[in-house]
Amino acid sequence: MRKGTATVVKHTGSHYLLSELPRWELFPAVIRGRIRLKGSGNTNPVAVGDIVDYSIDEEASEAMGTIDAIHPRRNYIIRRSANLSRESHIIAANIDRVFLIVTMAFPEVKRAFVDRFLVTCEAYRIKTVILINKTDLISDFLEDEMRDFEEVYGGAGYEVLEVSARTGENVEKLREMCRDSVSLFSGVSGVGKSTLIKAIDPTLTGIRTGEISLSHLQGKHTTTFYEMHPLSSGGFIIDTPGIRGFGLVDIEKEELSTYFPEMFRVMDSCRYKPCTHTHEPGCAVKAALEAGEISPQRYESYLGMLQEEGKYR
């Protein structure tokens, strides 16, 4: 019996692919039943990026590994979908940086989705860079929309980078940002995640790219599974299927405002603590809002999350 420690690099339903990073030598594995029971609140008790202990019976006819234990996670991205309100899904674990990809059109950016995603990244202290992709398709009308988006999220404290796989805009910068780290690429369907990853490393195989569905003006799923890829320039990228909805998990109302960086910067000056930043007198967040230091759109997004019942969907 051979035992070791490896990283989960692909999840394909009930089976997983593991590798002892930084070496890239893949082998299959399944989960022990007790781990499934332990993670019964999640659709996937083991996620891509998890570090696990495994064992392999080398005398068996098929050398299939067994995942025996999961190491404590440094961080992870978790979501709850609208049609699975009682269950959550871990997108990936042990991430150095998240690249959240948006487009101004085809598909249109949904700021409520962006804000919920960013709140989750803040909750687990994961650095997030917002990529505005397909800038080669930006029209004069969309140019104004893009500048407003950059002002809102740049003002909140996020790095916002314009990129294009077609023209190569900022692709080299992305490649350097991904070097020697584990980066998650995520966004709704059709924003061009897989195409952008191929632009960063054209040597990668098994990356599917697709077109926009003209009938619904939205993307088609081209990535089926959560999967990690090694970059020839160093580091690893986790590619994810397009996400259609993003619900918050295990975030209480009292802590929600701390995951909006622009609110966190001023909230210590609120007269009353705790402060919901909705009706209290002497609220520093509302004062910053009235002074134009906090985006009304971001504040409305905060109120929308605050008003949802219990733990967020």
Contacts of 182 (CB under 8 A, 6+ apart): 49, 94, 95, 96, 97, 228, 235, 236, 238
Phi-psi group of 238: left, alpha or beta (phi > 0 → left; psi -120 to 50 → alpha; rest → beta): beta
State the pLDDT at residue 34: 67
Please state the pTM of the whole predicted model: 0.88
Q: How far is CA 312 from the centre of its chain?
A: 17
Question: From the first residue on, what is the mean pLDDT of each consecutive set of 10 residues in the chain (313 residues)?
Answer: 94 88 93 66 86 88 85 92 68 96 91 94 96 90 93 97 94 96 94 93 74 40 74 94 79 93 97 94 97 96 82 40
What's residue 139's pLDDT?
82
Kindly tell me the number of DSSP H helices and DSSP E strands found in the chain. 9, 15
Q: What is the 3-state secondary structure (H, E, C) of 46-92?
A: CCCCCEEEEEECCCCCCCCEEEEEECCCCCEEEEECHHHCCCEEEEE
Query: Which amino acid type is present at position 226?
Result: Y
pLDDT score recorded for residue 225: 79
Domains of the chain: 2-70 (2.40.50.140), 76-239 (3.40.50.300), 253-307 (1.10.40.50)
pLDDT of residue 246: 79
**How many C-beta atoms surround the C-beta of residue 34 within 10 A?**
11
Nearest to 117 by CA among 81, 155, 150: 81
Collapsing DSSP to helix, strand or coil, 253 comes out as helix
Model pLDDT for residues 194-239, shown as the tens digit of each residue? 999 999 999 997 665 544 333 333 444 444 578 999 999 999 999 9
Cα–chain-centroid distance for residue 86?
20
Residue 11: both structure tokens together? 């999840």
pLDDT digits (tens, 9 = 90+) for 273-313: 899 999 999 999 999 999 999 999 999 999 999 987 544 33
Per DSSP, 156 falls in state H
